Structure 1
Amino acid sequence: MGPYRVLFIPELLDNILSFMNRDYNMINAHVCKQWSEIALDLVWWEVVNLHELLNILRPFKKVDGHLIISAPPLSYESKSSFFVDIYARMPHLHSLDLRVHYAARLIEADILNLLRGLPDLKKVIFPEFYLTSGIVSELSRMKHINIIKSKIGPKQGCGEEEDVDSFSPILQQEAFPALWDLDITARLRDVTRFMNSDLAPIKLTSLYINTYVDDKPEQLHKLLVTLSKQCPVLSQLCVKILHVPKQLKLFPARQITFDALRPVLSFQRLTTFMVTHKYPVNITLEEIEELASRWPTLESLSLNEEPLVMDDFTLDLRALVPFARHCPKLRQLGLFMDATTAETHPTTELRPFTALRTLSVGASLARDPGTVAVFLSQLCLPGCKLETSITWTGFGGRPCRELNINHRSVLSELQARSRRWTGIIDLLPILIQIRREEREKSKARLAALQEVDELRMKNIKINDR
């Protein structure tokens, strides 16, 4: 073993590795810690392929022009040095996508130092439950940050709910000077207080809010009132109250009502709105008419089409008619309906949607596929996609949003309803095409009759001469 000791003398090892090409030294960097430091110094001397080089330090991917970096495992002793390497070697990084599979509090100090070392950041993406008060406070002081995202899913990783149980960032003058897109997970009352501050990010155009607390409709109303006053340029708003109780039983006092949602009509530029809750929204057909008629600029609306309590209906397929009549720019619509009663008044004109591309019916009930498909074919254009089922449970595998063994009846009912809509999904494009062909034939017949009338009038004029 004597001859091999020379390979552990730093000066000699550096001399030996300097004669090797960069591909071999990238391999040498994996041998041991001592070899890694010397080999990396040689590789970093001239950066040719940043993607390939950073993969030596820690596996990552390059997607849409930004770096996706996985944090070291929790058992890794030198986590701090990992984050130091990032901002020491890439101080002008513009986009950071950090993926972590443990609680934010375990590396919050390292993340704060990382943010301070990357003053040019414009976009950050963190796992859910990572936007703590401390991290948001630090982000508020960054001059160029315009996008703060929180992604949900197994690849992104996930923190723990308790890290955002209390949300109260400390803001200073000129906080969030460039922020326009924000995702946040916190209690609605905390978000309301945050956005009601004189230093709140009022230039937001997009705001996504998740909460796992069973917030009351009154709290949602207060939030919407605050946002309508504080965020004059907000165009996209999503509020998801993702609370899954052990026993799913309807409590009417906990249902979101139209009165709770009415402040959305006070926004100046809001064109996209989504609300998600375990109970159906308590809204009538008359209120749907008011909502649609007062919101002609609406482009996307998801009115809780995916409740977990699915046996309380206030709407049927007639709820689609006002949106087709009043909202010419509407591209996406989601409603929870009893699709078995679709009778309209004989004098009601069924004007088709002009821009709708996606109709999401979620957990809506449909018993007669043929009747439902015939009605929808009068409103939907070719290419309109029909979406069903529950999509917001199970994301990230968090207990607070999972349907488990206590919800067997819910899961069974969801599967049954989804099967009923399968026939409608298959039948609808055929009926839409048939109606389109009939309209074209009708137009052709009308044009022919008009031409005959014109010829008749010309003939009368000639005879009168």
Structure 2
Amino acid sequence: MTMAFPSQPRALQMPELLHTIFQFSEPEDNYASARVCKTWSNEALAILWRSVMFDVVLDLLGPTTPSAAGDLVFVRCPQPEDWSRLDHYAWRIHHLDVPWQPYHPSVFQHIVSLRSRGILFPNLEALDFNNNDLGNVHLFTHAKLKTLILQSADDVGEPLHTKTLLLHLPLETYHLHTLNLGFLLIPEEVSHLDLASVLQGLPALKTLWLPGDRLVPQIANTLAWHPVLECLVSTVVTHANTTTWDVFSTSLELDSYPSLKQLEIAVPLDRAALILSQTHRPRCLVLFAVKCYWSEEFVDSYARFIDVISSHYPKLETLFVENNDVYQDPPNLQQMTFLELRPIMRLSALRQLVLTHPLQLDLDLGQITEIAKALPSIESLFLNESPRILSVPNLTMTALVTLISLCPKLEVLGLYVNASVTMPPITNDRTLASLRLLSVGRSSIVDARAVARFLKSILPKSCALCSNTTPHRAPEDYVYSRRWDWVEKKRSTKESRY
């Protein structure tokens, strides 16, 4: 390592300033900076090693190679000098990511020998453990850990390891702020009572993710006393034909969820309406997301849900109504009309609105105008831009012109439009200046040249254009997609004519 040059400005010897500079530097530049002098090295290494992958840590202990079974194993046993090298960097690590990679048992056995001498990563605050070796999570946990993300595959090994891990969380990570179990296969050996006891022992939780089939009323009522819980998310469960209908609670007690601001659950719309209309419902919600299955829904369910949430949560800032049943065409499904969606206009504080449905929303230009006028703060608006069941869109590109003056804060927009008709007149003084993304989903298009010319006149050059976000493409989707891709390419060029 070289010494600092005598002529080096004093400012470039200040750790705080160097830390700020290195935060915005490329890794290659920080590698070079780490060789300048001791002061630069400390700050550059602090950035480089703040967040690392587990494989990088293993490289400090010696070379690794895949074994005959495919798992990762050390080429040789780590030596004392290897442990010293790890200790030199371990205290700098604040975020560790253990990826989906099979490791030979000997790898963790070597680490156990070091762990016996003290905490392996003394300043670790966040652990992302995406691996089936759940019995080894305890090697990295300690009282300073604030964020823990646990993921596993359906073929996870010994279920008792998972149970032991969960039951010990309150003892080893009492101060957890964020716990994500949403993508962890929790075995049957872990009862609802067990899980409720674990969560009760983590009083500092602010954010919690759970599998949808685990947010049952018993656990929801346990969580209701958490004084600082702000975000509660249940993920959609797809294994073993599990349904998640009987989740959360419809009999909460007084002063439940005093700090809850974000709630995301997977339930039918009727149950969502029941949850949100109960006497002792959470009072502070600013974000609500419901992941529903349209095969179970009807027009009146949708209308009832929209009416309930707009009546009880007038200060709501974000509303997601998401469709997860993409494999079934329900026989009695009807379009959502302006009559069912009208209550949304009460939510004047909305900043994000996402509505999805297998059929296009039955809205005309006048009704879109009314909705836009009622949502002056809207920044992200997705109005079912990719209906699964195709029909001729009611809206045309004129809707974009209408939104220009009504939604000045709009940054993200998703609309299902008919771009196969004549484009509106081009004006050079009215644009969606704040728009960063326009999603046209499965919108039809014929004259790509005319569409590109029109969009170039009303969209900022930095705005991205995307199409066909549906997982099930019809043959015409491929044709439309190629034309939209051509539009995006030409719209972003510097050519004035094409």
Kindly indicate whether residue 247 of structure 2 is the aligned counterpart of residue 167 of structure 1.
yes
Bigger mean CA deviation after superposition, 286-295 or 224-233:
286-295
* Structure 1 residue 307, shift from structure 2 partner: 0.6
In 2, Cα distance between equivalents of 1:325 and 1:158? 43
Aligned to 1:428: 491
Residues 1:357 and 2:420 are matched in the alignment: no
Unpaired segments ≥5 residues, structure 2: 1-79, 88-103
Q: Which residue of 2 aligns with 1:239?
A: 321
Contact 1:242–1:278 (8 Å) recurs in 2:
no
The answer as to 2:125 corresponding to 1:125 is: no
- Whichever structure has more helix as a proportion of its residues is 1
Over the aligned positions, Cα root-mean-square deviation in angstroms equals 3.9
Residues 140 and 176, structure 1, Cα contact 8 Å, conserved in 2:
yes
The size of the alignment, in residue pairs, is: 388
Pair 1:60–1:261, CA change in 2 (3 A):
farther
1:336-383 deviations in Å (ceiling 9; x for gaps)? 01101134479x997211311111100001111101111212211221
Instruction: After superposition, give the CA deviation of every residue in 1:285-335 in whole Å (9 maximum; x if it has no partner).
Output: 221222223333221110000111122321111121211121111111111
Q: Which moved more, 1:127-136 or 1:422-431?
A: 127-136
Paired amino acid for 1:291? I
1:193 pairs with 2:267: no
1:415 lines up with 2:478 in the alignment:
yes
Assess, with a 3 A threshold, how the Cα gap between structure 1 residues 220 and 349 changes in structure 2: closer, same or farther: farther
SS of the residue aligned with 1:77? Answer: helix
Partner of 1:98: 181
- What is the Cα deviation at residue 89 of structure 1? 1.1
1:42 matched to 2:116: yes
Matched to 2:484, the amino acid is: W
Q: For the residues of structure 1 that align with 2:484 and 2:139, how far apart are their CA atoms? A: 41
Residues 229 and 259 of structure 2 are in contact (CA less than 8 Å); yes or no, is this contact kept in structure 1? yes
2:58 aligned partner: none
Structure 1: 5+ residue stretches without partners:
1-19, 394-402, 404-409, 436-465
Question: Secondary structure, in 3 states, of the residue corresponding to 1:430?
Answer: coil
Q: What code does the residue aligned with 1:280 have?
A: Q
Q: Is the 8 A contact 2:294 2:357 kept in 1?
A: no
The residue that corresponds to 1:205 in the other structure is 286
Q: Which residue of 2 aligns with 1:145?
A: 229
String of CA shifts for 1:164-220, please: whole Å, max 9, x gaps: 122351422211111101111111111100000121112111111101243122212
Q: Secondary structure at the match of 1:200?
A: coil
Residues 379-416 of structure 1: CA deviation (Å, up to 9, x unaligned): 1122111111124x4xxxxxxxxx5xxxxxx4433323
The 1:225–1:75 alpha-carbon spacing in structure 2 relative to 1, beyond 3 Å, is same
Shift of 1:283: 0.8
Equivalent position to 1:298, from 351, 365, 378: 378
Distance in structure 2 (CA, Å) of the matches to 1:202 and 1:330: 28
Please tell me the residue identity of whatever aligns with 2:321. V
Q: Is the 8 A contact 2:417 2:444 kept in 1?
A: yes
Q: 1:99 to 1:236 in 2, by over 3 A?
A: closer
- Which of the numbers 61, 65, 85 marks the counterpart of 2:168? 85
User: How far, CA to CA, are the matches of 1:160 and 1:144 in structure 2?
Assistant: 34
Match for residue 443 of structure 1?
none
Q: Distance in 2 between matches of 1:434 and 1:254?
A: 44
Contact residue 349 and residue 375 of structure 2 kept, 8 A: no
Shift of 1:102: 3.6
1:260-299 matches, within 5 Å, as 260-299=340-379
Task: State the structure with more CA Rg.
Answer: 1
Q: Secondary structure at the match of 1:125?
A: strand
Distance 1:416 1:43 in 2: 63
CA–CA distance in structure 2, aligned partners of residues 145 and 326 of structure 1: 36
The 2-side partners of 1:165 and 1:307 are apart by 24
Of structures 1 and 2, the one scoring higher in RCO (CA 8 A, sep 6+) is 1
Contact 2:148 2:176 (8 Å CA) reproduced:
no
| Counterpart-to-counterpart distance in 2, 1:373 and 1:61 | 53
Instruction: Give how far 1:32 is off.
Output: 12
TM-score, normalisation: structure 2: 0.68
Is residue 177 of structure 1 aligned with residue 177 of structure 2? no
